[in-house]
Amino acid sequence: MTDSTRVPTLVLGGTGYVAGELLRLIAGHPRLRLAGILSDSKPGERVAAAFPHLAVAYPHTTYLSLDETESLIASTEDLAVLAAAPHGVSAALLDRLLIVASGAGTRLRVVDISADYRFTDAAAYQSVYKHAHGAPTRLSDFTCAIPEHLPSLTTAHVAHPGCFATAMLLALVPLVSLNLIDADVFISGITGSTGSGRSPVEGTHHPRRHSDVYSYGALGHRHAPEVMGIVQRLTGTAIRLHFVPHSGPFARGIHATTQARLLRSLSTDEIRAALSDFYKDQPFVRVLAEAPRMKDVVGSNYAHLSATTDGTSLAVMSVIDNLTKGAAGGAVQWLNRLYGWDQTLGLTAPAVGWS
């Protein structure tokens, strides 16, 4: 397939870690080609300066300004958009670009990775993120879920849940859908430093984070209401999520442990069989007999789950790569779905193994 027959793809998000991961995946995707990457702060600068590891794929590519991005949209018939702009910025930016596309007759297919389209209600968004939504009339144009949990779409665009949310939803949705657990759910999760973004902060400073583990946002993290809303929309059942996130001394990966009371007595084998059956047609989710390890998924779009029970309560362990399955990889998986391709296209590379 030549570049002229690949779908032109626009990345929003500039120099962030998720944008870099999107660029890496696009470089190896058989049906996509990078048409442009927007950075309003670095227009004209080389992408390889921000991402030296991608210089072999993008030796001469430079960042676009907002005006250049709008010109690209207006001159392209069909354009895929992968949006990794910051929370609070993405909604208004996408609204502006969708208006340009509508005026030019351009078809945009958008996957947003920010939090801006994860809620169906602007007031719910504002209550969590403490600022008004940037484009409340667009909320109905987006559906938020991970690809494994939604067989078909009724909206033109998709919002991919966050990285912690992805790890939690992989365990929660089958447990709630199958009516296996009580409404009170307790989740403890640990994430790598890339989950905090590229801008240096105390939580990502190496001497502070190295050889240490600590919690943050305990029982008040913004992903909890997002996950509760998604679970209720997908299953029709409300849960009460008690979530304690932790920072870990590694760059990539998430390990989440979900605990809840069983509604009926089940063995460990029965729980694992139920999870395996739920995900039997999902190539990126594997249910294991042994405890899952992050190193077996980091650098890949795969998720590993396992479970154990004492007969009255259960624990489900899930591991993902926060930048891939939890962000860029999940977004490309959705883009494959939006174009009617096999959802695994460009995403089947195995984990690094010794990262």
* pLDDT tens, residue by residue, 253-272: 999 999 999 999 999 999 99
Each residue's pLDDT tens digit, 199-214: 667 766 777 778 899 9
Backbone angles phi and psi of 317, in degrees to 5? -100, 130
Domain ranges of the chain: 3-144, 164-322
Sequence-distant (≥ 6) Cβ neighbours of residue 78 within 8 angstroms: 7, 8, 106, 107, 109
Per-residue confidence band for 1, with pLDDT thresholds at 50, 70 and 90: low
**Cβ atoms of residues 131 and 123 within 8 Å:** no
**Cβ atoms of residues 270 and 178 within 8 Å:** no
Single out the catalytic residue among 50, 110, 145, 163.
163
What share of the chain in percent tops pLDDT 90?
A: 88
Is-same-fold flag (3-144; 164-322)? Answer: no
Per-residue confidence band for 354, with pLDDT thresholds at 50, 70 and 90: confident
Out of 1.25.40.10, 2.40.10.10, 3.30.360.10, 3.40.30.10, select the CATH number for domain 164-322.
3.30.360.10
Each residue's pLDDT tens digit, 124-134: 999 999 999 99
The answer on pLDDT for 57 being more than 70 is yes
- Does the domain spanning 3-144 belong to CATH 3.30.470.20? no
Amino acid at position 86, single letter: P
Has 144 been annotated as catalytic?
no
User: Please, what is the average pLDDT of the chain?
Assistant: 95
The answer on pLDDT for 195 being more than 80 is no
